[in-house]
A and B are shown apart, each in its own frame.
Chain A
Amino acid sequence: MTTQRRGIHLDQSELLCKKGCGFYGNTGWQGLCSKCWREENQKEKQKQIQEDWALAERLQREEEEAYSRHQKAQTQPTITPFSKFEERKTKEKSSKVNTVTKFFTPSTKTPPKKDTPFDAHSSPSPSSSTSRHSSVGSDYATREFIDFLKPLKSGREIFKQCRAFTESMVYKRDMGADELSECVQDFYQNLSDRLHTQFKGSSDHVESVMDEVEKYMMTRLYKDVFCPETTDDERKDLAIQKRIRALHWVTIEMLCVPVDEEIAEVSDSVVKAITDVIEMDSKCVPKEKLACITRCSKHIFNAIKISKKEAASADDFLPTLIYIVLKANPPRLQSNIQYITRFSNPSRLMTGEDGYYFTNMCCAVAFIEKLDGQSLNLSSEEFDLYMSGQASPHWPQSSGASSCSPGSATLSQVHKRLDVLTGLGERQERVMEKARQLESDLIDWTDEVEQKVQSVLESIPAETQNPTATTASGTTSAASSAIDSDNVENEHLPPPLLPQVFAG
């Protein structure tokens, strides 16, 4: 009883909040009332968070330094195909640290100063500029997406979910590419199912919304999910690139490509097709990448149609596409194909026209990978020779070589034009020569005429005024008998001695 009493007695002061706010406190909250406890706790939590951040930053910096030291020691002497890969890794890391430090650096620091600690390795300025660029791009995508969704009834909801999903994906980037793909595909599937019930089966409408969803999400996720480090996409890219480079000698005839590049319009289409397939790498959204392949295919069809004068079948199309891929050697081909397969809207790949051309592209790549002598109608010895670079199909017949590459067609044209030009030059020279001759002839002729006129003029007054007109002719005759004229003196000589008779 007494203890209880004393307890109650003590409680009177003890029960109140330690802060003295007048409310009752609680031992579970260290004697504070709920309000004061929350305030106190929040402060502490914030302090804790800040400390954690600082620690994280310090650790990351240390790790980064250790990494760069390690990097310098290890990867510089050996130049492997993976050096690029490592470089990118460090680039990403440095940019990460960069952003972390951005939060913590006081605002008094000027922007160029921020970059200086990282100048020592792996050029941070391009990486930071690209990240800035991509963030600008994704901001733009976000704005566009919002504009698109505005008139829709459930636009806000769609946007919220897409944003939430996109943000959650960033934390999943350590997952395998297939799992990432599954996540995205599941999201597409779920969203389109919901949209179908909402729009009462108007599939065109659903498709247009899904296109925008894909565009928004993939623009934002591109950097994280294109050619992720968890896969060997990059290695495959390099392998196919090397392979295509080694196959540079493959000609139109070997692939039986029904395209005649002598026709200017055809070679034009071929060049356009090559440009389009190369452009694919510069796009972010799977749909836009597919559009590049489709455009490339259309140019190919055009080239075939002009060459063959009939609609192209798959028998013509696939070899030509293979030829275009060999000529173009598109950058990061495998990565792009994998990316489209993983993150494109599945219905597009399965039945659409884009899907058909994409499938053909996959076929072309598979064909190039497995290509051997038999598939080019060559013996395996010939194939090996060409592959090792010991022989080239261009050497024996240069005329064949001139028709096998898209550049050489124009080159031969240039040669033709040059020939014509030199011919023209020669002709012009001849014309000039003749003209000069004509000129001198004319001068001669005028001289002659002048002379004749002069002589006539001279002869006429001589006849009319001077009786000694014959002098001219006389002098000429005298001139003709010049020897006699020299003997003019003879006239003044005494007559020759006559014989005299002295004795009779």
Chain B
Amino acid sequence: MAAGGTGGKTYSFKVVLLGEGCVGKTSLVLRYCENKFNDKHITTLQASFLTKKLNITGKRVNLAIWDTAGQERFHALGPIYYRDSNGAVLVYDVTDEDSFQKVKNWVKELRKMLGNDICLCIVGNKIDLDKDRHVSVEEAESYAESVGAKHYHTSAKLNKGIEELFLDLCKRMMETAQAEERLKGNGASQSASSRRGVQIVDDEPQATPAGGCCSSG
């Protein structure tokens, strides 16, 4: 989780998008980053890696959103994708019960592999098709709460709930990063003294032989 933040000035977060194929992961992120939906005049070459710069309460945040291949045959590759990520957006289609089941599997796996370091968002997409809903709101929300995730309802088509989703996620990731920084801050004084490998000092010229690299605190 070293990707958290540097010096409290700019945060860089990595967020993975997980979910079955056809639940609208790509539409969601295209809508968020480019405000486009099913646009025929495509200017973006790809919608699998997108970045967004945010300013949240005076702090700069660089958000990198990683889309993942949702096909079942690529499921085993998940760990390579979500390694070192700060947040995960788990998308399902409200009209598709199966896709919600997949989200549950992802949650289990993420919690097992990454513990509570990762901020989880469960997203029911396509609420414009509410009349065909197959996943009940109560069930989804109570499940999200039970696993320590936040639940959102979105529609990429109508541009509903997407801004809120990512803004909320960023705030939560910032909190996590700040808490981590505080923790690191306590241990920093001792680790700094033990790491005396490289020093860039202007006034006092000293050719420190970089031999201290083995003393990683």
Chain A interfacial positions (CB closer than 8 Å to B): 153-154, 157-158, 160-161, 164-165, 168, 182-183, 186-187, 190-191, 194-196, 198, 201, 203, 256, 298, 301-302, 304-305, 309-315, 317-319, 346-347, 350-353, 356-357, 359, 362-363, 366-367, 370, 374-375
Is B66 in the interface zone, CB < 8 Å from A? Answer: yes
Q: Cβ of B183: which chain A residues have Cβ within 8 Å of it? A: none
| B199 at the A interface (CB under 8 A) | yes
B71 lies within 8 A of A187 (CB): no
B70 within 8 Å of A by Cβ? yes
Query: Is there contact, CB below 8 Å, between B77 and A356?
Result: no
Smallest CB gap from A349: residue in B: B84
Provide a sorted-by-A list of 8 A–B residue pairs whose CB atoms are within 8 angstroms. Answer: A160-B207, A203-B6, A313-B67, A315-B71, A318-B74, A346-B2, A351-B3, A356-B48
Contact B14 A350 (CB under 8 A): yes
| Chain A residue nearest in CB terms to B214 | A183
Most buried by A among B46, B71, B205: B46
With A183-B213, A356-B64 as contacts: A315 and B26 at CB distance below 8 Å: yes
Pair A191/B198 contact, Cβ less than 8 Å: yes
* Alpha-carbon gap, A356 to B45, bound state (A): 15
Residues of B within 8 A of A312 (CB): 45-48
Q: Would B10 and A298 count as touching, CB distance under 8 A? A: no
Q: How far is the CA of A313 from the CA of B46 in the complex (A)?
A: 6
Scan residues 66-97 of chain B and give those whose CB is less than 8 A from a CB of chain A.
66-71, 73-74, 76-77, 80-81, 84
Asked if residues B210 and A161 are in contact (CB atoms below 8 Å), the reply is yes
Q: Which residues B16-65 have CB closer than 8 A to chain A?
A: 17, 21, 25-26, 30, 42, 44-49, 51, 62, 64
Smallest CB gap from B21: residue in A:
A315
B208 located at the interface, meaning its Cβ lies under 8 Å from any Cβ of chain A in the complex: yes
Would A366 and B80 count as touching, CB distance under 8 A? yes
Q: Which residues of A contact B115 (CB under 8 A)?
A: none
From A183, A301, A317, contact of B69 by CB (8 A):
A317
Q: Tell yes or no: B216 within 8 A of A by CB.
A: yes
Say whether A168 contacts B47, CB under 8 Å. Answer: no
Cα distance A304–B30 when bound, in Å? 17
B45 and A367 within 8 A (CB) = no
Q: Is A313's CB under 8 angstroms from B200's CB?
A: no
Interface residues of chain B: helix, strand, loop or mixed (majority): loop
User: Out of B2, B9, B42, B198, which one reaches A311, CB within 8 Å?
Assistant: B42
Closest 4 CB pairs of A and B: A313-B26, A314-B67, A194-B200, A165-B210
Chain A nearest CB: distance from B79 CB in Å? 9
Are B45 and A298 within 8 A (Cβ)?
yes
Residue of B10, B47, B208 near A203 (CB, 8 A) is B10
Question: Smallest Cβ distance from B214 to chain A, in angstroms?
Answer: 7
Residue from A191, A309, A350, A357 within 8 A of B200 (CB atoms): A191
A313–B25 CB distance below 8 A: yes
- Expressed in whole angstroms, the minimum distance between the Cβ of B164 and any Cβ of chain A is 23
For window 183-217 of chain B, which residues contact chain A by CB distance below 8 Å? 195, 197-202, 205, 207-211, 213-214, 216
- Residues of A close to B155: CB separation below 8 A: none
Q: Nearest CB to that of B83 among chain A residues?
A: A359
Q: Which residue of chain A is the closest to B210 with respect to CB atoms? A: A165
Shortest CB-to-CB span from B161 to chain A, Å, is: 20
| A438–B71 CA distance with the chains assembled, in angstroms | 69
The smallest C-beta distance from A270 to any residue of chain B, in angstroms, reads 15
User: For A194, what are the chain B residues with a Cβ–Cβ distance below 8 Å?
Assistant: 198-200
Q: When the two chains form the complex, which single residue of A190, A304, A310, A351 contacts B197, counting CB atoms closer than 8 Å? A: A190
Collect the chain A residues with CB atoms within 8 Å of residue B2's CB: 346, 350
Separation of A492 and B199 alpha carbons in the complex (Å): 150
CB-based contact A161/B208 at 8 Å: yes
**17 extra interchain contacts, Cβ-Cβ under 8 A, other than A164-B208, A312-B48, A318-B69?**
A161-B210, A168-B209, A183-B214, A186-B216, A187-B198, A201-B9, A301-B45, A311-B42, A311-B47, A314-B68, A317-B69, A347-B3, A350-B2, A351-B3, A351-B14, A362-B80, A363-B69
B12 within 8 A of A: yes
A375–B205 alpha-carbon span in the complex (Å): 60
| Residues of the A chain whose Cβ atoms lie less than 8 Å from the Cβ of B6 | 196, 201, 203
- What's the minimum C-beta distance from B91 to chain A, rounded to whole angstroms? 12
Q: Which residue of B lies closest to A153 (CB)?
A: B202
Residues of B within 8 A of A203 (CB): 6, 9-10
In the complex, what residues of B have CB within 8 A of residue A153's CB?
202
Known A201-B7, A312-B48, A315-B21; contact A351-B68, beta-carbon cutoff 8 A: no
CB of B2, distance to nearest CB on chain A (Å): 7
Knowing A160-B207, A191-B198, A298-B45 are in contact, say whether A352-B214 is a contact too (CB < 8 A). Answer: no
Which residues in B have their C-beta under 8 angstroms from that of A370? Answer: 76
Contact B213–A196 (Cβ < 8 Å):
no
* Cα A161 to Cα B21 with chains together (Å): 50
Q: Which of A187, A366, A375 contacts B213 (CB 8 A)?
A: A187
Find the residue from B64, B66, B73 having the highest chain A CB count within 10 A: B73
Q: Is the CB of A195 within 8 A of B200?
A: yes
Task: Tell me whether A198 and B80 are in contact (CB under 8 A).
Answer: no
CB neighbours (8 Å) of A311 from chain B are 26, 30, 42, 44-47
A244 vs chain B, min Cβ distance (A): 17
State the CA gap A183–B197 with chains docked (Å). 10
- A182–B198 Cα distance when bound, in Å, is 15
Docked-complex contact A187 and B49, CB < 8 angstroms:
no
Docked Cα-Cα span, A196 to B69, in Å, equals: 36
In this complex, what residue of B is CB-closest to A186? B213
**Is there an interface contact between A366 and B77, defined as CB atoms closer than 8 Å?**
yes
CB within 8 Å for A164 and B207 given contacts A186-B197, A363-B81: yes
User: Given the complex of chains A and B, what is the CA–CA distance between A305 and B7 in angstroms?
Assistant: 40
Is B198's CB under 8 angstroms from A190's CB?
A: yes
Q: Tell which of A201, A351, A363 touches B80, judged by Cβ atoms closer than 8 Å.
A: A363
Q: Is the CB of A154 within 8 A of B14?
A: no
Are A359 and B80 neighbours in the complex by a CB distance under 8 Å? yes
Residues from chain B with Cβ under 8 Å of A256 in the complex: 71
Chain A residues lying within 8 Å of B77, measured Cβ to Cβ, are 318, 363, 366-367
Chain A residues positioned under 8 Å from B213 (CB to CB)? 165, 182-183, 186-187, 190
In the assembly, what is the distance between CA of A367 and CA of B80, in Å?
A: 11
Instruction: Determine if A154 and B195 form an interchain contact, defined as CB atoms under 8 angstroms apart.
Output: no
